[in-house]
Amino acid sequence: MKLFFHGGGCGDVCCLRVQNLSVKIGSETILHDFNMHVHCGELVALIGPNGAGKSTFLKAVLGQVDYDGVIAFSSPGQRDRRPRIGYVPQSPTFDPGDPVSVADLFACCMSKRPAFLGLSKTMRKTVLECLSRVHGEDLIDKRVGTLSGGELQRVLLALALEPLPNILILDEPLSGVDVEGMGVLMDMLDEIRKTYDLSILMTTHDFSNLGRYADQVVLIDRTVLAQGKPDDVLSSEAFQKIFHRGGGK
């Protein structure tokens, strides 16, 4: 595994560069000959059939799985430091009967004070500030298990934005979210990207929003099959083969 920081290649605008990446789990090769670039401030959508290796790729970028090849970061202004990565995992489930509130969830992640003692005034103010980034102040006292798919994604997004990352990674944030909620969430990601000047890398099965929001789409199936502007990738032969003639698995 080689992880390093680079200051050249594609200039200061390239924030994540992946070269000849491969991931093996046991004897199975999950990813091979994987190359891609994410430029600073871009929203990049990773698409592909189930089992294509999308989540595995995100885990490699997060350093959660071993890999061969190069994953290189470049963050303007903090050249020698690993960039901060915010991560929203794929569909975590919470028991509807669980008494844990949104405030408790933040307290567990952000404070050493035991959650059963309740939130200090200062911490409550901090949590409200975090939730305001996703226009979710009204969710603070709701139980996590009762949130709608879209509300839960906004809460997880608020958690991933504290502290503010350089790169935000989301694994299928639109799954379990209704059509209206998808638009709200994508508008919010677009706003967050511009407000905080960060790059977003997300996986999705929803292709309808790509043209409007994504700068780049990367189609993968164990390796990169197509990468470029949304329209180009969605009309590519590789896309047709996987999602139409091939049935999309």
Residues that bind Mg ion (CB under 5 A): 54-55
Determine which residue in the list 30, 38, 44, 159 makes contact with ligand ADP, applying CB under 6 A.
Answer: 30
Instruction: Return the number of other C-beta atoms located less than 10 Å from residue 211's C-beta.
Output: 12
**3-state class (DSSP) for residue 186:** helix
Tokens of 203: 């996986």
Asked if residue 27 binds ligand ADP (CB under 6 A), the reply is no
DSSP 8-state code for residue 97: T
- Partner interacting with residue 173 (select from ligand ADP, Mg ion, none; CB below 5-8 Å by kind): none
Asked if residue 173 binds ligand ADP (CB under 6 A), the reply is no
The Cα–Cα gap between 223 and 54 comes to 10
Asked if residue 154 binds ligand ADP (CB under 6 A), the reply is no
Asked if residue 51 binds ligand ADP (CB under 6 A), the reply is yes
Asked if residue 72 binds ligand ADP (CB under 6 A), the reply is no
DSSP 8-state code for residue 84: P
Asked if residue 53 binds ligand ADP (CB under 6 A), the reply is yes
Helices (H), the chain: 54-62, 102-110, 121-132, 149-160, 179-196, 210-213, 230-234, 237-240
Residue 93's Cα: distance from chain center in Å?
17
Choose one: 53-61, 74-82, 94-102, 146-154; the region binding ligand ADP (CB under 6 A): 53-61
Asked if residue 75 binds ligand ADP (CB under 6 A), the reply is no
Using CB under 6 A, count the residues that bind ligand ADP: 10
- Partner interacting with residue 17 (select from ligand ADP, Mg ion, none; CB below 5-8 Å by kind): none
For residue 161, CA distances in Å to 62, 155, 238 come to 15, 10, 34
Asked if residue 230 binds ligand ADP (CB under 6 A), the reply is no
Contact, 15 vs 75, CB < 8 A?
yes
The Cα–Cα gap between 142 and 63 comes to 33
Determine which residue in the list 14, 52, 85, 159 makes contact with ligand ADP, applying CB under 6 A.
Answer: 52
Positions touching ligand ADP (CB under 6 A) are 25, 30, 48, 50-56
